[in-house]
Amino acid sequence: MAALLTMSLVGIGAIGAPWLAPYDPTAQLDLLTLKNQTPSWRHWLGTDAFARDVLSRVLFGARTSLGVATLSNAIAMITGVAWGALAASVSPRWTHTMMGAVDVLRSIPRLLLLLGAIVAFGVMSPTLLAVVLGLTSWTSISRLVFTKIRELDTRTFVEAARALGLSRPVLLRRHLAPHLLAPLGAAGTLLLADLLAIESGLSFLGLGVRAPMPSWGNMVQDAVPFLQSAGWLAAIPCLLIMATVGSASAVATHVGARSHALAPASIYS
Amino acid sequence: MTAGRRVGYRLGHACAVIATTLILSFALLHAAPGDALAADTAQGGRSPAARAELRRQRGLDQPFAVQLAHYLGRIGHGDLGRSYTDQRSVRVAVMEALTRTLLLTGTGLLGAIACGLLVGILQGWRSDWWLSRALGAALTAVYAMPEFILALLLLSVLAYGTGWFPMGGMYDPLISVTGTPMERLLDTGHHLVVPAVTLALGWGAAVSRHQRVALLETVGADFMRTAVAKGVSPFRLLLRHGLRPSLPTVAAVIGLMLPVLAGGAVVVETVFGWPGMGSLLVRATAARDVPMVGGAMVVITTAVTLSSLAIDLALHRLDPRQREHAL
């Protein structure tokens, strides 16, 4: 429950950032007097080294970080489900080729693929970053879908549906998809947490979302030189990242546990 | 699948991975803006005809496939090209960084195995003891933390807060010049502590989770009850009967950490200014140093693939069940 609450609060903050934020997140308000100020009534979370309002940056940063994570998650899910379902439905030779390709892709460290893409594209917009993240993260989803469909294919109800003359697409949509929803929900939420962590890590290294656009990761990066003198500047985005990643994986664990309890396996066969 | 076919499949898989990486890294060179000439500082002021001649000499006017073949031939001879930024040989730079990274990640991995196994065994064996619960909770918290946050936390506590450890780098600028070899060794060890602890905690959390689950599964098994009935001492019970079945799982988890071992813990190295593969990759990526990133890609993936192949074959030996019928 607490995890869901955290996630929805962060979501509201991200969506409502333009209305909720008291200042422009990139405006340098007063370079002389407002540098690294502690929290006050005028600036609830203080100001950073460039005299920008931290609360506004946190809200807009949520927008960037969550936006990139959600978009890349959607891309990874769609690609993964499509690839896995297709591989489970074509002739055996193609199945071997398709899943072999997935195994090969999975064996190349993902970070190397990401860095390669960053080198090839140069400075990336958040949208492009999300696309690249999505296209390097779908393999685990496709493995899951493939194994699940293969397992379901041996069940009697699938056999019965096939005997009735249902075409493969209809079978997939009507009879197999409902069984995939719960495990996919769990895996998807886990992947979301993973992508959030990766995006913030990349932005922290200065390779993801670039200044002046705020993201939680590059806010931490900006704060590192002031770790001793203004530690809260790093602490605020760090706590937010941990809370969001933590609650996303908590939700995933919960969904996963529930999906075991509700698994259609206990109803059929 | 028989054992022989399984080994064959793994070999084919390893070859496919390395081949894919080679092609990707070549495509990277090819697709990046400008070609090998654009980076060559010696070409300034040349006439178009001279440039065309230089292109011909370097084989840049050849078809893609021919260039790919040349590229593979060069790599086969151990030539990974030169860096765009400082003209250093990529092979020399990568090898230098790789040894430093292996020092850091190897230490971290040993620490992770030690602390992960210890906590995991404690949790699986005496799950209701307060100490194992407290340790478990602490490691779960670490597990949920993105690496750079853990690194910053340890940096601010152990280096900034107490001043016990240096804030970054691999050696002290003064000692590295004036110190005796022994002093230099101690100095590097001193710099190694905090980054290695960061890695050990992060990975140790993962190892302990899997060790705990694997041991919990074994504790309830029939053969354990038989062993107790037989009068086996608790210590021997744990060591000979309890731990053996969980070995393959844990070995597999450790195998999953190999990419980081060679690829450098990018985040940790950056935070602590450790001059290894991770720092090299980040710097090269930020500077769009294509040959450096491509070369590092090839070296790391090859190392990772070969060692995970070795681990897989070792697992095969560790688990008698897999020897008969695998996959």
Residue B288 contacts A, CB cutoff 8 Å:
yes
Counting one residue from A and one from B, how many pairs have CB atoms under 8 Å apart? Answer: 101
Separation of alpha carbons B9 and A104, rounded Å: 12
Do B160 and A206 count as a contact with CB atoms less than 8 A apart?
no
Is A122 in Cβ contact with B25 (below 8 Å)?
Answer: no
B327 — pLDDT class (breaks 50, 70, 90): very low
Residues of chain A neighbouring B266 (CB-CB closer than 8 A): 111, 205
Contact check, Cβ <8 Å, B300/A122: no
Say how far apart CA B144 and CA A162 lie, in whole Å. Answer: 44
On whether the CB atoms of residues B45 and B53 are closer than 8 A, the answer is no
Cβ proximity of B303 and B296 under 8 Å: no
Query: Chain A partners of B147 at a C-beta cutoff of 8 Å?
Result: 201
Provide mean pLDDT across the span B58-78.
77
B176 has pLDDT over 90: no
pLDDT confidence band for A264 (50 / 70 / 90): very low
Indicate the pLDDT class of residue B58, thresholds 50, 70 and 90.
low
The residue type of B108 is G
Coil/strand/helix, residue A166: coil
Mean pLDDT value across residues A230-243: 84
Say if residue A75's pLDDT is above 90.
Answer: yes
Q: What is the largest CA-CA distance in chain B?
A: 90
Residue-level pLDDT at B64: 75
pLDDT given at position A80: 93
Three-state DSSP class for B82?
A: strand
Q: For the residues B292-317, what does the mean pLDDT come to?
A: 83
What is the distance between the alpha carbons of residues A46 and A236, in angstroms, rounded to a whole number? Answer: 10
On whether any CB of chain A is under 8 Å from the CB of B105, the answer is: no
For an interface test with B, give the residue of A99, A106, A115 to mutate (most B CBs within 10 A). A115
Chain A residues at the B interface, defined by Cβ less than 8 Å, are 100, 103-105, 107-109, 111-113, 115-116, 118-120, 122, 197, 200-201, 204-207, 220, 224, 227-228, 231, 234, 238, 241-242, 245-246, 249
Contact call for residues A20 and A59 (beta carbons, < 8 A): yes
Q: What is the mean pLDDT of residues A19-38?
A: 72
The arithmetic mean of pLDDT across residues B67-88, rounded, is: 78
Question: What is the pLDDT of chain B when averaged over all its residues?
Answer: 79
Closest CB from B146, B288, B296 relative to A122: B288
Sorted by sequence, the CB contacts under 8 Å of residue A117 that are 6+ apart come out as A132, A136
What is the average pLDDT across A127-132? 90
Residue A100 tokens, joined: 């072999």
Interface residue of A119, A140, A228, A247 to substitute, partner B, most B CBs within 10 Å: A119
Position B44 scores a pLDDT of 57
B70 touches chain A (CB under 8 A): no
In this prediction, residue B43 has a pLDDT band, given cuts at 50, 70 and 90, of low
Taking the Cβ of residue B304 and every Cβ of chain A, the question of whether any pair is shorter than 8 Å is answered with: yes
Quote the pLDDT of residue B325: 46
How much is the pTM? 0.79
Q: What is the nearest CA distance from B150 to chain A, expressed in angstroms? A: 10
CA gap B269, A130 in Å, rounded: 25
B277-304 b/e with 16+ CB inside 10 Å = b?
bbbbbbebbeebbbbbbbbbbbbbbbbb
d(CA A201, CA A196) in angstroms, rounded, equals: 8
Judged by DSSP in three states, B297 sits in helix
Query: Which pLDDT value is given to residue A82?
Result: 93
The pLDDT of residue A34: 67
Mean pLDDT over residues A242-260, rounded?
79
The verdict on a CB contact (< 8 Å) between A108 and B17 is yes
Phi, psi (5° rounding) for residue B102?
A: -65, -35
List CB contacts (< 8 A) between B17 and chain A: 104, 107-108
Backbone angles phi, psi at A101, to 5 degrees: -60, -40
Using pLDDT thresholds of 50, 70 and 90, give the confidence band for residue A212.
confident
A236-254: average pLDDT:
84
Chain A CB contacts of B259 under 8 Å are: 109, 111
- Provide, rounded to the nearest whole percent, the portion of chain A with pLDDT above 70: 93
Q: Is the pLDDT of residue A66 over 60?
A: yes
Average pLDDT value for residue range B132-160:
82
Helix (H) or strand (E) holding B1: none
**Residue A114 CA: distances (Å) to CA of A117, A120, A208:** 5, 10, 10
3-state SS track over B11-72: HHHHHHHHHHHHHHHHHHHHHCCCCCCCCCHHHCCCCHHHHHHHHHHHCCCCCHHHHHHHHH
**Residue A32: per-residue pLDDT:** 66
Q: Nearest CA to CA, how far is B250 from chain A (Å)?
A: 19
**Distance from C-alpha of B199 to C-alpha of A81, rounded to nearest angstrom:** 34
Residues paired with residue B82 on neighbouring β-strands, in sequence order: B89
CA distances to B27, B95, B297 from B71, in Å: 11, 20, 15
pLDDT bucket at A72, cuts 50 / 70 / 90: very high
Q: Give me the mean pLDDT over the B16-21 stretch.
A: 87
Cα angle, residue A269 at apex, residues A255 and A84 outer, rounded to 5°: 55
pLDDT digits 0-9 by tens, A142-171: 988 998 888 888 888 888 888 888 888 888
Residue B320: count other Cβ atoms within 10 Å of its Cβ.
8
Q: What is the 3-state secondary structure (H, E, C) of A225-266?
A: HHCCCCHHHHHHHHHHHHHHHHHHHHHHHHHHHHHHHCCHHH
State the Cα angle at A73 between A72 and A78, rounded to 5°.
100
Identify the residue among B25, B285, B298, B309 best suited for mutation to test binding to A, counting A beta carbons within 10 A and taking the highest: B285
Quick one: average pLDDT of A9-18?
Answer: 78
Q: Is the pLDDT of residue A22 over 80?
A: no
More confident residue, B76 or B269: B269
Task: Name which of B270, B274, B248, B259 is nearest B192 in CA terms.
Answer: B274
